[in-house]
Amino acid sequence: EGVTPQEYLCLKMRTLEWSERAKQVIGDALPANAKVYFVPATLRPETMYGQTCCFVGPKVKYSIFEASADRKEYFLLSSRAARNMAYQSIFPEWGVYPKMVDLLGSDLVGSLVDAPLSVHNDGVRILPMETVKPTKGTGIVTCVPSNSPDDYATVLDLVKKAEYYGIKEEWAEKEIIPIIQTPMGNLTAKAIYEKLKINSSKDPKLTEAKEIAYKTDFYQGTMIYGLFSGKPVQEAKALVAKQLLDSGRAFKYAE
């Protein structure tokens, strides 16, 4: 990892419905009416309109931590991220991050969560992504297939092999809406995926695809969706982040 800290925006995705397996594992570890949030870390807040699902690593370990006893708020993420957050004043008491229960990513698949700003406002599903790195961000990745080549490739794999992954096809197949216009069109990730002839979520060409997508959107992109439609991405990025922060649907996290 580099020497300069990476600053992420962490989204609060409220759990609307647990998978059967998660229900069993959680048992009575949480109080009644607990609000549990999946907490993905993102570098692209301006794309949040296009969230279609949220990824966990099926073999990655997660836990639920108490973020506010008064408000009965809980965060679901990696222990590593919770520890870092406890030293960034994200938990109420410095250095303290009370753990309620441990879960495996595969336990969580199929749960339904609210995706702030997403056009899919009746919730999106928790789905497996095998390339999630347990030691980066929170270990949770919200999925924006219009603009992230990794997300686009994973969604294609999931739809193709839904049965193998133990998911319903329609969980992975939600509509992909255009958010950013660039010289490559209005679905940057799809355009690059096709141009580089990528054929799976494990294709090594995704490293290059990611770089091209990021630069194309950031330097040549204009918003064509949402409150900041018409503004360049370079400007909209901070504006959307501020909107999410001010409304309490996100917080900053550095590592």
Residues near ligand A2H, by CB under 6 A: 6, 41-44, 47, 132-133, 136-137, 139, 141-144, 147-148, 151, 210, 214
Residue whose CB is less far from ligand A2H, 43 or 104:
43
Task: Decide: helix, strand or coil at residue 209.
Answer: helix
What b-and-e string marks burial along 63-87, b requiring 16 or more CB atoms within 10 Å of the CB?
A: bbbbbeeeeebbbbbbbbbbebbbe
Answer whether 40's CB lies under 8 Å from 10's CB.
yes
Write the CB contacts of 231 (distance below 8 Å, at least 6 apart in sequence). Answer: 222, 223, 239
In the complex with ligand A2H, the residue whose CB is nearer, 22 or 60, is: 60
- The Cα–Cα gap between 104 and 100 comes to 14
Tally Cβ neighbours within 10 Å of residue 30.
16
Considering the complex, what minimum distance in angstroms separates the CB of residue 65 from ligand A2H? 17
Distance CA 185, CA 205 (A): 20
Distance in Å, CB of 131 to ligand A2H, minimum: 6
Least separation in angstroms between residue 72's CB and ligand A2H is 27
Nearest distance from residue 118's CB to ligand A2H, in Å? Answer: 11
Rounded to whole angstroms, what are the CA distances from 22 to 76, 96, 142, 153?
12, 25, 19, 26
Nearer to ligand A2H, 23 or 215 (CB): 215
- We find the least distance from the C-beta atom of residue 200 to ligand A2H, in angstroms, to be 16
Separate counts of helices (H) and strands (E) for the chain: 9, 14
Output 27 or 43, the one with its CB closest to ligand A2H. Answer: 43
Amino acid 212 reads I
Contacts for 159-166: CB closer than 8 Å, 24+ residues apart = 165/109, 165/127, 165/128, 166/109
Of 72 and 84, the one with the shorter C-beta distance to ligand A2H is 84
Give the residue with the Cβ less far from ligand A2H, 47 or 106: 47
For ligand A2H, the closer CB: 20 or 194: 194
CB of 56 to ligand A2H, least distance (A): 10
Beta carbons of 181 and 217 less than 8 angstroms apart: no
Q: C-beta of 170: minimal distance to ligand A2H in Å?
A: 20
User: Would you call 20 helix, strand, or coil by DSSP?
Assistant: helix
